[in-house]
Chains A and B, each alone.
Chain A
Amino acid sequence: MSKCPEITGLTFSLSGQRAIEAIRAKQRLANVLAGIMAVTPLVEIFGGKGGLHSPLGIGWNIAKNDWAEWAQTLAAVNIVVQREVVQIAADEYQFGASSGKEREFWFAVANSCER
Chain B
Amino acid sequence: MRLIQLGLTAFALIVATPSVPAEIAPDASLRNPIGQLVELAKNNMMNAIDAANKRIGYCLDLGKATIIKPDAIAKLKLTTIELKIAIFYSYLKAEEACTSDAVNMATTKITMFKTIEFEAYGRNDPEPFTDNNYNFTAAEICCGSAKIFLNAQLNYMGLNADKRAALDAILELKKPFNFFELSEYFDPTPVSAKP
**Residues of chain A having any CB pair with chain B under 8 Å:** 1-2, 5-8, 28, 78-84, 86-88, 90-91, 93-95, 99-101, 103-104, 107, 110-111, 114
Contact = CB atoms under 8 A, between A and B. Distances in A.
A6 to B, nearest CB: 5
Interface string B129-161: 000110010001100110011001000000000
Given A83-B144, A100-B190, A100-B193, A90 B60 contact: no
B44 to A, nearest CB: 18
A95 B92 CA distance: 14
Contacts of A111: 64, 180
B105 to A, nearest CB: 14
Contacts, number: 74
Interface of B: 52-53, 56-57, 60, 64, 84, 87-88, 91-92, 95, 132-133, 136, 140-141, 144-145, 148-149, 152, 179-180, 183-184, 188-190, 192-195
A84 B56 CA distance: 11
A104 B189 contact: yes
Contact of B84 (A80, A84, A94, A110): A94
Interface of A is mostly: helix
Contacts of B91: 90
